[in-house]
Amino acid sequence: MMAAMLCTDQGPVVIVTQYETLHHPRLLELLEQKGIAKFIGFTFPLELVQQRYGQHYQTVMENLHETDELRVVDSEGRRAFRLFSFSEMSEPMLYEAAAREEAPTA
């Protein structure tokens, strides 16, 4: 299991996943299904997420509506960003889905 903070256009999101890298094709597919097609990601130790979120972490891990492929621990960006210092995060990992043709605006 791996924990990460993804900085997205909607703000930071903390996730836990069974995949070992943020660039795993299946994880990227799941993120895109949730509307996350571009992010700057930082990983940190799973134990740190367990410690910072306490009982909330346990509740998320026991949620039957999510799987170990992708569990969202925190989607409240301001709180997620405040809970972790930059020194606790990995080097940033960048991801951007293939550019899509957008309709011109009139």
Whose structure tokens read 């993804």?
6
pTM: 0.86
Task: Tell me what percent of the chain is helix, strand and coil, each rounded to the nearest 5.
Answer: 35, 30, 40
Report pLDDT digits (tens) over 10-56: 999 999 999 999 999 999 999 999 999 999 999 999 999 999 999 99
Asked if residue 22 lies in contact with residue 41, where contact means CB atoms within 8 angstroms, the answer is: yes
Q: State yes or no: pLDDT of 76 exceeds 80.
A: yes
Amino acid at position 91, single letter: E
